[in-house]
Structure 1
């Protein structure tokens, strides 16, 4: 069995990890002179992902891990190009009514699903109607009210309110378009738990799945409808992609540097030099959307006091912590909207350098808030109560970007200002339930999207988590009329400048009120062997698809 098709044995991967030296020096490897000028078809790519997706249905939980896989299985209705513009996907064209409430999509003909059933307006209606019938889906926030099949290849979508980000939403794997047979014959729970039911129209189809171990994708030889945003047409180059779930970073790196894997996800920043020194390649792409940030709950003590929130931010040495944990690979985020997020100019550059680490300022603000005493352990006290902050943590993501290490470093460093930070881990289901109680002081988050509206919605009242479902991504439980009003403009206006101006207003409001502490700009960091060619990222910064990837012999 070739190295590209065998499963990495856990014991072997651990053994390989133990042999690794840390952070060896060296630069990026140059492309091999033996690489052909033109792509070569065939071969199996072995790709090690950092975690297995908790849910396989992109409409239910839009995680980076499931998006990276689903983008090879499902086509999108429209395609976002590298410059942020939108091109035909499964829809060849679309029209938007003057009031922004009606979208009419003309659909591509001759497209079939992996099970051989046809793609048409009736099937698209089944997919787009899902949020109307399943109120716990993340996509309920798109405002879709009704759909109408005009004819076999035309679908009309009516909204309850204008949604300027709808086209972007339809360009992402958050809207996987399933076979109508699957939607008719299987329950939402089955779609979520079983990727063998992930039957789309994309360049790869699911051939095999072993829970907790691997997913095998095989080429869809019938694929002949790639959007123009890709580098070629027709079927994919690769015969097969074996995705293995390997949470331990050193095991992934060991597999790559020992030629047991062709590509690995989430290379830790401090291991980039090690990977490059082994002759492998590191591919990096900044995300757009929101940074990795801390969301502060202003509804309960101690963060119900603005001065305490601002003191908390001033007490975090973001630059120093990023240097210590990531070696400076990740850059500090100055705002809750990241640079490069469309439309161009949505990130307010005037915020660069506008805030930073200042222990003296933190101490002054805390004293102003009444925390004038310090207990025997060095924590600040007010009215006999220690300045304690409860940090709710979703355990699913602590391995991402070494966030557990960063979180512990932040919590430890905040003692200098007198904060007692207690990190409380929860599994994903319990985490969401915990946030609905409103008893946490702090939670961390990041969200990659290539539209400014999706970097603002996590701070709107409508996104507050509730037991009744909904998007639930406002982890700080912020309800601010000024932000809600600005989001109304961002979500409804089709004028880019109006959206940009409103987005700038929100970014200033969040920082002025201390609702969040932006930390760093997330990156997708992938390690590959020199044989791997054609790898690309989408505008969000995720791995977009294996469609253009090929292996040099």
Structure 2
């Protein structure tokens, strides 16, 4: 983008309202002393946005930390801590003009030096930043050119940076807190957001309170001043049935990760509950297919797997059919999504058989064989996240019907990660969140941590690298369309379904919205008396 386009974008965005926010409650009926309890589905690894690797920490952090830009639910880039921004002619330097009226929860002033301290902290090897470091890409140098002007410089043009600065994993932390708490920073999260940290009890709860000084919320949300809600307790309840029971009994007023069967049962009860589908953008729920290990090192086997699995059937079996199917590497909400790829692998068991036969596989008995070896597949799944084993088991059923001896192995997270990294699996269901198509580089470039398909292709690598540097939107669309076509033709990932957080709320709760990417935000929420 040119400088003028970026400036126009920033100014025009001030008038954009978050279309996902539910109607605000009548101000006369709002309980300004309300204490909200949220049934939360996943444990916390750390509340430090720079070092967390968890999707479910993102919504916690987006309520405690502000970002330089705010992403609307439809991924429009709007001002937040940065009032405006420009991009240099060579595409390597982003200049942000910052607000001058912001303070951190510990009283530290927010300014350009604070932004520099955050970039330095994220890029410091000792920090061991997770998602945050990846979101910065090659843009790892920051310099204050004025008290409220900061430059972020990239080693090469990096088009995704601006949108990715709106993810909570790049939430701005107090430089004083960074210095004071060091490796314990995740236990003392200190941002500028609408809510301040109160306490964290591992595997039990995260408690936050209203930031009474908050006057700098994103204009796109449509709520001025501090939150209406005084206190939020995120009650960590990984057991889905316990989370539902807590909600139905009134112990919580909102529940995230509502299981599909309960979503279908509770949604019609409009006199008591309100439902909100929060689309988590990126690559959806999908399964990398290991291209480096027998038998999935044979592209014919990978393609046969794609034809053999009925994705709609998987969703019905595993999750009551409440989610839409996804058939492409990027979900439809993400820039660069290519709908022309949706019909590449229809459910077609006969086509799966033809594909294997053409590649020299035979089926003398129940399962396919080649060179005296049976076609056996290992499906791994995280044992602590209930829907992944269910998805793996549903996929297993279709593969066995198609003559592939699929086995499911449930693993605790560390063992699951190790299996994926070392290629000790055939495929595994998972998710990845992103607000830009550059997410593909983490999964398909050589030597990337998440290259769990263990697949490299010089043409694909070149396309993804070009996509990072290209600033022309039309050219980027073409680049990512070509990249996704290679991924699908080589069948190194199986798209399964859209990634959606099914949120169920009491009718007394209104104004709940989410930032782009799918992170629930309570700064504009109200609870009726």
CA separation of 1:363 and 1:169: change in aligned 2, threshold 3 A = same
2:443 counterpart residue number: 459
- Counterpart residue number, 1:61: 52
1:428 maps to which residue?
Answer: 413
Establish whether residue 501 from structure 1 lines up as the match of residue 496 from structure 2: no
- Residues 129-155 of structure 1: CA distance to partner in whole angstroms, max 9, x if unpaired? 224312742333311242212122121
Are 2:376 and 1:381 equivalent residues in the alignment? no
Matches within 5 A, 1:4-153: 39-134=30-125, 136-138=128-130, 139-141=132-134, 142-153=137-148
For residues 275 and 191 of structure 1, the distance between their equivalents in structure 2, rounded to whole angstroms, comes to: 39
List aligned pairs for 1:117-516, cutoff 5 A: 117-134=108-125, 136-138=128-130, 139-141=132-134, 142-188=137-183, 190-192=184-186, 194=187, 197-278=188-269, 279-342=272-335, 346-375=336-365, 378-396=366-384, 398-399=385-386, 402-454=387-439, 456-462=440-446, 464-465=447-448, 472-516=449-493
Q: State the Cα deviation string for residues 290-335 of structure 1 (Å, max 9, x = none).
A: 1211111112211111111101111111122222333332111110
Kindly indicate whether residue 498 of structure 2 is the aligned counterpart of residue 521 of structure 1: yes
What CA distance in whole angstroms lies between the structure 2 residues aligned with 1:259 and 1:498? 51
Cα distance, 1:42 vs structure 2? 2.5
Does 2:524 align with 1:539? no
Question: Is residue 105–residue 191 contact of structure 2 (8 Å, CA) maintained in 1?
Answer: yes
Q: Is the 8 A contact 1:392 1:443 kept in 2?
A: yes
**Aligned partner of residue 191 in structure 1, secondary structure:** helix
Deviation at 1:420, TM superposition (A): 2.0
Secondary structure of 2:514's partner? coil
Distance 1:302 1:281, change over 3 A: same
Contact 1:78 1:86 in 2 (8 A): yes
Structure 1 residue 531 displacement after superposition: 0.5
Counterpart-to-counterpart distance in 1, 2:284 and 2:154: 29
Say if 1:77 and 1:395 are closer, same or farther in 2 by CA, change over 3 A.
farther
Gaps of 5+ in 2: 1-21
Alpha-carbon deviation of 1:223? 0.8
Q: Give 1:182 deviation, angstroms.
A: 1.6
Equivalents in 1 of 2:281, 2:312: separation in Å? 20
SS in 2 for 1:125: helix
For the residues of structure 2 that align with 1:104 and 1:322, how far apart are their CA atoms?
A: 45
State whether residues 119 and 140 of structure 2, in contact with CA within 8 Å, keep that contact through their aligned partners in structure 1: no
Given the superposition, is the C-alpha separation of residues 361 and 452 from structure 1 closer, same or farther in structure 2, using an over 3 Å criterion? same
- 2: distance between equivalents of 1:85 and 1:93? 14
TM-score between both structures, scaled by the size of structure 1: 0.86
Q: Is the 8 A contact 1:461 1:477 kept in 2?
A: no
Per mean C-alpha deviation after superposition, the further-off stretch among 516-525 and 267-276 is: 267-276
- Deviation, structure 1 residue 494: 1.2
Q: Per the alignment, do residues 52 and 439 of structure 1 end up closer, same or farther by CA in structure 2, a change over 3 Å counting? A: closer
CA distance in 2, matches of 1:427, 1:191: 26
Does the 8 Å contact 2:421/2:450 carry over to 1?
A: no
1:549 counterpart = 2:507: no
Q: Which moved more, 1:365-374 or 1:219-228?
A: 365-374
2:281 aligned counterpart, secondary structure: coil
Contact 1:216 1:243 (8 Å CA) reproduced? yes
User: Residues of 2 paired with 1:299 and 1:314: CA distance?
Assistant: 20
Encode CA deviations 1:339-362: one digit per residue, 9 max, x unaligned.
1213xxx21122233321111111
For residue 19 of structure 1, what is the aligned residue in structure 2?
A: none
Does the aligned pair in 1 maintain the 2:379–2:408 contact within 8 Å?
A: yes
Gaps of 5+ in 1: 1-30, 466-471
1:335 & 1:60 partners in 2: Cα distance?
Answer: 29
Aligned-partner SS, 1:244: strand
What secondary structure sits across from 1:206 in the alignment?
strand
For residues 276 and 440 of structure 1, do their structure 2 counterparts lie closer, same or farther at Cα, with a shift above 3 Å needed? closer
Aligned length: 502
- Indicate the residue corresponding to 2:12 in structure 1: none
